[in-house]
Chains A and B, each alone.
Chain A
Amino acid sequence: MMRFYDLLLRLYPASFRAEYSDDMRAIWKRRRRDAAGPPAVAALWIATLFEVLFNAAAVHWDILRQDLRYTARTLARSPGFALTAMLVLALGVGANTAAFSVTDFVLIRPLPFSAPDRLVKLWEKVPGYSEMELSPANYVDWKKMSKSFDGMGAYFGASVNLVGQGDPERLEGAAITADLFPLLGVQPAMGRLFTAAEDHEGAPGTLLLSYQLWQAVFGGDAGVIGRRVNLDNEPYEVIGVMPRDFHFPSRNAELWMPTRFQEHSDDFRDRNNNYLNVVARLKPGVSLDQARAEMAVVTAQLERQFPKENHQTAASVNLLRDEVSQQSRLLLLALSGAAICVLLIACANLANLLLARGLARQRELAVRAAMGAGRERLVRQLVTESLVLALAGGALGVLVAAAALPLLARLVPATLPIAQSPSIDLRVLIFAGVITGLTGLGFGVFPAARACRQSGFRALRDGARAGGGRKERLRSVLVIAEVTASVVLLVSAGLLVRALWRIEATDPGFRTDGVLTLRTALPWPKYDQTARRAGFYTQVLSAVRALPGVSSAAYISFLPMVMRGGIWPVIPNGNTVDLQRSGAHTASLRFVTPGFFATLGIPFHRGRDVAEADSMDAPFVAVVSESFVRRYWPDQDPLGRHFTMAFHDRMVVGVVGDIRVRGLERNSEPQVYLPYRQVPDGWLIYYPPKDLVIRSAAAAGTLLPAVRRIIRRADPEQPVSDVRTMADIVEEQTASRSAQVRVLGAFAAIAFLLAGVGIHGLLSFAVSRRTQEIGVRIALGARPGGIVRMIVRQGALLAGAGVALGIALAYAAGRAMEGLLAGVRPGDAVTFASAIGLCLLMTVLGSLLPALRAVRIDAIAAIRAE
């Protein structure tokens, strides 16, 4: 009985227990004796239980209030320390919270679908491509033959022109199979999903709106269900609105319609028309590996059945969560690593600060201990103090992270079914709270325990001179760790900056200045006649070319870097190079109007541009890029040579410079440009020119309204979309990289600063501790130069050790992120030299002030002081 009461008493703080537990036990014993009969005893127990819980909490609260008051007073007495500690923590917590919020958002957090860890993405795997979309025919067979999945759904990107709701608009969306959304486990916010009957050839058009589109175009009208709208001149009925946070397949999707495959014509027969993205849900109990094994069997069977079309076609099965590009992943991991480095440095710095403060406060603590404060109360007081600091720093850190989020949002790839930018939500706050708490506790308890162990009479006696060699060694190790981490960060940031510069210096092959681009995607079947499209282009281009300031204008199928695909097989006639050996036989295919090369400033090497005269009645011609010539007719005159591409024999009439179609960081296929008129009616639905490029001396802002008017005159129902300058498009290539470099650079700067502060703090402390010794040296005739050398040498030793370790680790870090370096070597000498130089500079600056202070020590006063 008594033992249980003792247990309850343990809820009180030890200091309180030490004072009063005997008396309390005595009182309770009497009460227990007075209680007669089981009901009275039971009542006593219940009352005691509540009484102890309440009073123990109250006593804790009293002590906390007391400690907080005391903390407020002590921190107010040393505002420099308080501010430094808070800022150091804010930077550490801020960096990690920011990095975590993005990394968690992109890589960790489950996708917003039901049981998302069972969702997989399926691709066709053919030699040369690790992941290729499926053909509808293969999709249907995979779905029929596999047993690993609870369901399989497909989608493909579909952009449409919306006419009749205000200005005509170009909308991004997806055509989906009816079973896709149920498979994901999503419900519409309003209305219903597609039925299987609606996903058939000839079924009337039905449409699901994204929440954002519903708000923007339909004003959030609750009566939108049942409304009829015109998409690409076809009627559709709105049947539902999806929830606000639903993004699929990516955050750009604004609407969804059923695929309505043409079951009876081409769609289910052609196995080489690959455009379907396929998502499936693993059956409960089926592992990813089992599904992969089954798909291997299925595809092997299909290859036997269709040996020509499905030649070497295998399946690749990945978790939907893992559909993040390797580069995005690496970018984020590098960022997280850097953030952890910053936190470690912040912690080392904080530990150093608190250790130094603990030493300085030893007397105060000893006095308090002598006055009867128990060890527990002292530790508790110190821990409260560091927790208060940590909390303030952590709160500041969350603000830092919130401020950094807009920049970090650029690191979120657009290809994921998630919103554009992470937010500081409960998950992130909990993370920030945990690291704040750990830092606060770790660096409160540790110095507190150390301080208390020595808070005996010795501290009173020794005065401020206490703190032996051991502590100094610990502090030195911390400083070395800081220097090491900052070298790693400096080198990593430096390598990435070099990589960024190298990419930015890459010649895209065209001139970006003064080029405005916009898209007018002509809808079919309205524009399936080549002549009708030609009429539109001619009217628009001649009017645009007449605008003041415009020097040239042209249309092309897809802009470079915006559209990286559009690749077509090439069969050269009478080529001299063995194709099997060269391996590659594809080129990027574009239809252009005359003047495209001049507008983009692509250099012309030989022959002529495509011309208006290159029509269906004239011989089919092509302009090709230099690498195309190098591949098929090296060291020969390419003009007049023939090759077959896109169903026709074509003759080379011109050679232009290569451009970076696939972006600055990737190799591109050779390019083939065909005259926009030389395509039969209704053919190559994907390739008619849609992007207008205008070279002009006038600013984009003044040019645009006039261009819009011209397009409206040519076709009032034609939307204009994707208005951008070519410079923006090229800059976007490096947007996520430069965001990362900026963040990492900021981290490195912080680390560098903190390490400098660390060296400065350690040396200052050492100087003040050795005041007497230095005084004696000066009295004995030591030169100021010698004193300065002595102090700086101490700093240099620490920095040297840190740099040596840092270089080794930085090289390892560089190797780990080699994929991000765009050819810059992980051991890049310039980067390492700069980082080492910066560290030396930091050491000198950090030790200079303490050294000067040492020189100015008044020998007599220093010796007399003790």
Chain B
Amino acid sequence: MTDTPRPVPLVPLTPATFHILLAVAVEDRHGYAIIQDVAARTGGELKLSAGTLYRSIQRMLEQGLIAETQDRPAPELDDERRRYYRITPFGAAVARAEARRLTLLVKMARDRGLAAGTA
């Protein structure tokens, strides 16, 4: 591929995709860790099922949003032979684009007095 894909066509993201990107943005995580991170951040609101998670992961891998990491954490922490995922630069760009879109939306809602915060 000669030209890097542009993030814009992928935006807006599905909530699951966005949350997975957020989960792997700071550190490499395996599947169950992603589920736990999402659940913790949303206060248990969004509990990804295994199917939804790996379906999203497969698609995100193909789209180049995330990558499987080769380097593993310390063996004593790696309780099972698991796959770990990390955000790619492209994934980060897409997440940023999505965040921008959401910010813009919230700002608009705020302007009409439909969201908390100052206009």
Question: Residues on A close to B: CB < 8 A?
Answer: 12, 16, 19-20, 22-24, 26-28, 30, 47-48, 51-52, 54-56, 58-59, 62
| Nearest-Cβ distance from residue A592 to partner chain B, whole angstroms | 87
Q: Are B83 and A48 in contact (CB under 8 A)?
A: no
A19 to B58 CA separation, bound complex (whole angstroms): 9
| Nearest-Cβ distance from residue B65 to partner chain A, whole angstroms | 15
Q: Are B80 and A26 in contact (CB under 8 A)?
A: yes
Of chain B, the residue at the smallest CB distance from A47 is: B49
- Known A-B contacts A20-B58, A23-B82; the reply to A30 vs B49 at CB < 8 A is no
Q: Which of B32, B51, B81 contacts A56 (CB 8 A)?
A: B51
**Chain B: number of interface residues, binned into ranges:** 10 to 19
Q: Which of B49-90 contact A (CB under 8 A)?
A: 49-55, 57-59, 80-83
Q: Are B55 and A62 in contact (CB under 8 A)?
A: yes
Q: Are A62 and B58 in contact (CB under 8 A)?
A: yes
A20 to B68 CA separation, bound complex (whole angstroms): 12
Q: Which of A20, A30, A47, A54 has most B Cβ within 10 Å?
A: A20
| Nearest-Cβ distance from residue A51 to partner chain B, whole angstroms | 4
19 A-B pairs within 8 Å (CB atoms) are namely A12-B51, A16-B54, A20-B54, A23-B54, A23-B82, A23-B83, A24-B31, A24-B50, A24-B51, A27-B31, A27-B50, A28-B50, A30-B32, A48-B49, A54-B51, A55-B49, A55-B52, A59-B55, A62-B55
Instruction: With A22-B81, A55-B52 given, name 19 new contacts (CB 8 A).
Output: A16-B58, A19-B58, A20-B58, A23-B32, A23-B50, A23-B83, A24-B31, A24-B50, A24-B51, A26-B31, A26-B32, A26-B80, A27-B31, A27-B50, A28-B50, A30-B32, A48-B49, A51-B50, A58-B55
Of chain A, the residue at the smallest CB distance from B80 is: A26
- Chain A contacts for B94, CB-based, 8 A: none
- Known A-B contacts A23-B31, A26-B82; the reply to A51 vs B58 at CB < 8 A is no
- Chain A contacts for B50, CB-based, 8 A: 23-24, 27-28, 51
Q: Are A27 and B32 in contact (CB under 8 A)?
A: yes
- Chain B contacts for A12, CB-based, 8 A: 51
A24 to B56 CA separation, bound complex (whole angstroms): 13
A765 to B81 CA separation, bound complex (whole angstroms): 50
- Chain B contacts for A19, CB-based, 8 A: 54, 58
A24 to B54 CA separation, bound complex (whole angstroms): 8
In the assembled complex, B107 has its CB within 8 A of some CB on chain A: no
A28 to B50 CA separation, bound complex (whole angstroms): 7
| Nearest-Cβ distance from residue B79 to partner chain A, whole angstroms | 9
Of chain B, the residue at the smallest CB distance from A63 is: B58
Question: Residues on B close to A: CB < 8 A?
Answer: 30-32, 35, 49-55, 57-59, 80-83
A426 to B107 CA separation, bound complex (whole angstroms): 55
A56 to B32 CA separation, bound complex (whole angstroms): 19
- Chain A contacts for B30, CB-based, 8 A: 23
| Nearest-Cβ distance from residue A31 to partner chain B, whole angstroms | 8
Of chain A, the residue at the smallest CB distance from B79 is: A26
A23 to B85 CA separation, bound complex (whole angstroms): 13
A58 to B31 CA separation, bound complex (whole angstroms): 19
- Chain B contacts for A30, CB-based, 8 A: 32
- Chain A contacts for B35, CB-based, 8 A: 27
- Chain A contacts for B58, CB-based, 8 A: 16, 19-20, 59, 62
A209 to B93 CA separation, bound complex (whole angstroms): 76
A18 to B35 CA separation, bound complex (whole angstroms): 21
| Nearest-Cβ distance from residue B52 to partner chain A, whole angstroms | 6
- Chain B contacts for A22, CB-based, 8 A: 81
Q: Are A62 and B49 in contact (CB under 8 A)?
A: no
A27 to B89 CA separation, bound complex (whole angstroms): 28
- Chain B contacts for A54, CB-based, 8 A: 51
- Chain A contacts for B59, CB-based, 8 A: 62
Of chain B, the residue at the smallest CB distance from A20 is: B54
- Chain B contacts for A20, CB-based, 8 A: 31, 54, 57-58
- Known A-B contacts A16-B58, A20-B58, A27-B31; the reply to A51 vs B52 at CB < 8 A is yes
Q: Are A55 and B51 in contact (CB under 8 A)?
A: yes
Q: Which of B31, B32, B51, B83 contacts A52 (CB 8 A)?
A: B51
| Nearest-Cβ distance from residue A368 to partner chain B, whole angstroms | 15
- Chain A contacts for B80, CB-based, 8 A: 26
| Nearest-Cβ distance from residue B69 to partner chain A, whole angstroms | 14
- Chain B contacts for A56, CB-based, 8 A: 51
- Chain A contacts for B81, CB-based, 8 A: 22
A653 to B117 CA separation, bound complex (whole angstroms): 121
Q: Are A51 and B82 in contact (CB under 8 A)?
A: no
